[in-house]
């Protein structure tokens, strides 16, 4: 079976170029620029996709998501998560270890891979598990990282919480380095967080909510960067949300530390003012996320940090929850945003529409650059590479409706908002795993 994606604008390492993409045997068989020398699709057994007006991008790659299985299938399972990922243009996703049981043994890693393989018959999104850094995410005994790596993990993390003890974190970094595994830190000092439920600042005062100081995040970023430098280990900083956090990463990168970092789409667009909901009074529980939404100054600093390379990539931190976990008082609501299906639109609206980044710069932060951080395959359109492709309507405007999500988690603060930039189709290994209508 061949597929010809014709008349699109290809997102190549050299920029945007009009052309056609031929897929054959799960791989990109040929790329034709211009229209003169490409096959005309008239040979019968070729599926032709007219991509006029669309960007033909490498499939999106997400280094940080929560697929919730095993243990929390009422929030999401591997199959629904993969469908949601495909709907969002993602062709590869890395899932965090805070499942039940925790992914701290090879058996759990193998279970996740087995479930993903089974779902692949329908939705072939590539799932890369992340193993726990410590057993049970308890911050004490290290996991058997070698066995986990053999089973298929691509990094280790206690995401959801920091490794509280600095000495233990040092050991994690030292041990992970021996297996060539990046350590992802969830930077949050819980003692400093105290009872904070949103960003500590003007709006927490206005809303009368206990605030979380940015220092809770920045101090752990600094500590873990120092430890990574000490151990010459690869530290990846999850969901940087503050200007100061980006500054710390920038400083350690300049010193030559092996530090990489991500931020999430919501930190580039939404702020703590959103906590008040559409009317400013209703406390939208879907804005409850960890780390919390920050200020306009922070979003601007994060955009600068993306542009100058301090922040390597954008990861969703897709964190689906059941309505029962959210339909409670703000302070009791579970933290997290179901983000696969709005990630591209939010980033396009926050970064490309205002002209902060070109389409290819932005897409690199969701394709090639995350692939590089964890040394994953994919991330660029090249002849011979697996045909992982996302077709994007760059001008497509749409209103977010969580009822249309494939994810079980409908918790998303962009519900009802107008976004620009929409995923129209997703191919993984040459197979169409999502095809929607144009806005």
Give the catalytic positions in this structure: 317
Which of 343, 326, 324, 336 has its CA nearest to residue 293? Answer: 336
Nearer to Zn ion, 66 or 115 (CB): 66
What's the CA dihedral at 324, 412, 364, 312 to 10 degrees?
Answer: -60
- Give the C-alpha distances (Å, rounded to integers) separating 113 from 103, 128, 380, 401: 11, 8, 24, 31
* Residue 288 interacts with Zn ion (CB under 5 A): yes or no: no
Residues 217-256: x where in contact with Zn ion by CB under 5 A, - otherwise, as a string:
---------------------x------------------
Buried b (16+ CB within 10 A) or exposed e, 299-314: bebbbebbeeebbbbb
Task: Give me the 106-145 binding string for Zn ion, x by CB under 5 A, dash otherwise.
Answer: ----------------------------------------
Nearer to Zn ion, 28 or 315 (CB): 315
Q: What is each CA distance from 363 to 15, 262, 273, 428, in whole angstroms?
A: 11, 14, 28, 17
Using CB under 5 A, which of the segments 21-29, 30-38, 155-163, 207-215 binds Zn ion? 155-163
Structure tokens, 187? 């930077």
CB of 181 to Zn ion, least distance (A): 17
Q: How many residues bind Zn ion (CB under 5 A)?
A: 3
Q: Is 159 in the site for Zn ion (CB under 5 A)?
A: yes
The reply to whether 189 sits near Zn ion by the rule CB under 5 A is: no
CA atoms within 13 Å, Cβ hemisphere of 96: 24
Residues 6+ apart with CB under 8 A from 409: 75, 76, 318, 319, 320, 321, 322, 336, 338
238 vs 343, which CB is nearer to Zn ion? 238
How far apart are alpha carbons 175 and 135 in whole angstroms?
A: 14
Binding string, 401-430, against Zn ion, x = CB under 5 A? ------------------------------
Q: Shortest distance, CB of residue 159 to Zn ion, whole angstroms? A: 4
**Of 238 and 311, which CB lies nearer to Zn ion in the complex structure?**
238
Please choose, from the candidates 99, 93, 94, the residue with its C-alpha nearest in 3D space to the C-alpha of residue 75.
Answer: 99
Q: Is 188 in the site for Zn ion (CB under 5 A)?
A: no
**Total residues found in the chain within this entry:** 439
CB of 290 to Zn ion, least distance (A): 6
**3-state class of 230 per DSSP?**
helix
In the bound state with Zn ion, the residue whose beta carbon lies nearer, of 63 and 362, is 63
Q: Does 186 bind Zn ion (CB under 5 A)?
A: yes
For Zn ion, the closer of residues 186 and 223 by Cβ is 186
- The binding site for Zn ion (CB under 5 A) comprises 159, 186, 238
């Amino acid at each position: 079976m061949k597929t010809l994606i014709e008349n699109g604008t290809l997102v190549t390492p050299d920029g945007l170029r009009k052309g056609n993409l031929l897929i054959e045997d799960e791989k990109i068989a040929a790329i034709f620029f211009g229209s003169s020398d490409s096959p005309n699709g008239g040979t019968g057994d070729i599926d032709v996709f007219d991509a006029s007006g669309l960007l033909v991008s490498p499939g999106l790659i997400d280094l940080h998501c929560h697929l919730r299985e095993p243990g929390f299938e009422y929030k999401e399972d591997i199959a629904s998560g993969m469908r949601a990922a495909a709907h969002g243009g993602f062709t590869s996703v890395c899932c965090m270890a805070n499942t039940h049981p925790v992914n701290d043994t090879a058996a759990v890693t193998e279970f996740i891979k087995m479930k993903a393989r089974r779902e692949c018959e329908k939705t072939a999104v590539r799932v890369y598990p992340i193993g726990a850094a410590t057993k049970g995410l308890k911050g004490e005994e290290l996991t058997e990282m070698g066995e986990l790596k053999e089973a298929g993990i691509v990094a280790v993390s206690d995401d959801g919480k920091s490794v509280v003890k600095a000495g233990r974190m040092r050991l994690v970094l030292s041990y992970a380095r021996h297996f060539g595994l990046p350590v992802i830190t969830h930077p949050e000092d819980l003692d400093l967080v105290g009872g904070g439920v949103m960003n500590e600042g003007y709006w927490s005062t206005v809303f009368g909510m206990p605030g979380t100081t940015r220092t809770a995040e920045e101090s752990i970023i600094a500590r873990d960067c120092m430890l990574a430098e000490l151990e010459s280990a690869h530290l990846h900083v999850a969901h940087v949300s503050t200007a100061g956090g980006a500054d710390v990463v920038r400083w350690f990168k300049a010193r030559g530390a092996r530090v990489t970092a991500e931020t999430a789409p919501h930190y580039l667009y939404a702020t703590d003012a959103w906590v008040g909901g559409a009317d400013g009074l209703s406390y939208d529980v879907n804005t409850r996320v960890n780390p919390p939404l920050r200020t306009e100054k922070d979003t601007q600093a994060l955009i600068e940090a993306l542009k100058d390379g301090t922040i390597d990539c954008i990861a969703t931190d897709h964190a689906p929850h059941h309505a029962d976990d959210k339909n409670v008082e703000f302070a009791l609501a579970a933290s997290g945003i179901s983000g696969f299906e709005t990630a591209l639109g939010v980033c396009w609206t926050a970064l490309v529409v205002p002209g902060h980044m070109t389409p290819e710069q932005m897409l690199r932060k969701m394709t090639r650059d995350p692939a590089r951080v964890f040394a994953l395959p994919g991330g660029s359109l090249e002849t011979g590479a697996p045909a992982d492709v996302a077709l994007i309507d760059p001008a497509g405007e749409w209103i977010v409706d969580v009822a249309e999500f494939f994810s079980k988690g409908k918790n998303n603060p962009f519900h009802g908002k107008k976004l620009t930039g929409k995923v129209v189709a997703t191919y993984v290994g040459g197979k169409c795993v999502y095809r929607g209508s144009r806005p």
